[in-house]
Amino acid sequence: MIHHIVTIALLSTSWAINFVRVGTLVLVSHDVADIFLEGGKFIRYDLNNSTVTYILYGCFFSSWIITRLMYYPFVVIRSALFEAANLIQPDYDVWNFTQIPYVPRGIIMLLAALLLLHIFWTFIILKIFAKAISGKTPKDVRSDSESDFEDSDDRRKLVTKKREKKRVSDKSVDNDSEDEFESPTSRRRIPRKE
């Protein structure tokens, strides 16, 4: 959720103060990797072809590293830090926090926050790849729809187990209805005292 807020603030602010280059580069650098991610999800869920899925996820991870951990900080953030100041005004100093306008510094802080999120997500993606390599079925932790399906499957299994337990306990109650006394620790019958 925080990345949506940061991205919307970043894009709307960059367009409002005519930093269109920064906003456009943020969009482009984020959309490239998402194409491979969505393609991998599509193949995995609809066609269930694991070879193509792993190839697409490999392309996704490669494009993620290139666009979000290389291009984004070394082109987009560098441009905002060093080249954008000259476009604002020739004597504008980004590091002088008392100089007006203040908004470009806010954009740079939003760009840095998004970079920190990219680094965090990279560790999550690496964990998913480690699970996939170890033979476990990787889950997409970002996807709500996948977890909804898994939760509903788990719910179905739990309900089925409860129904089976209830049937077994109902049958044992029917069989033991002749006995009034039953030991709570065992199923053996205790003779009645008369």
Mean pLDDT by runs of 10 across the 194 residues of the chain is 85 82 84 87 80 87 92 87 73 72 79 92 88 71 50 61 68 52 53 63
Task: Give the span between the Cα atoms of 148 and 138, in whole angstroms.
Answer: 15
Going from the C-alpha of 42 to that of each of 30, 113, 122, the distances in angstroms are 19, 30, 21
Length of the chain: 194
Q: Half-sphere exposure (CA, 13 Å, Cβ side) for 87? A: 13
Amino acid identity for residue 52 in this structure: V
pTM: 0.63
Q: Which two structure tokens, joined as six digits, stand for 91?
A: 């004597």
Mutual orientation of helices 103-134 and 2-16 as an angle, nearest 10°? 140
Residue 144: count other Cβ atoms within 10 Å of its Cβ. 7
Main-chain phi, psi angles of 178, to 5 degrees: -70, -30
Largest CA distance in the chain: 107
Q: Which two structure tokens, joined as six digits, stand for 155?
A: 């719910």
Amino acid identity for residue 63 in this structure: S
pLDDT at 62: 92
Q: Are 63 and 28 in contact (CB under 8 A)?
A: no
Gyration radius (Cα) of the chain, Å: 29
The H or E element spanning position 159 is helix 144-175
Q: Are 33 and 56 in contact (CB under 8 A)?
A: no
Going from the C-alpha of 82 to that of each of 10, 67, 76, 86, the distances in angstroms are 18, 20, 10, 8
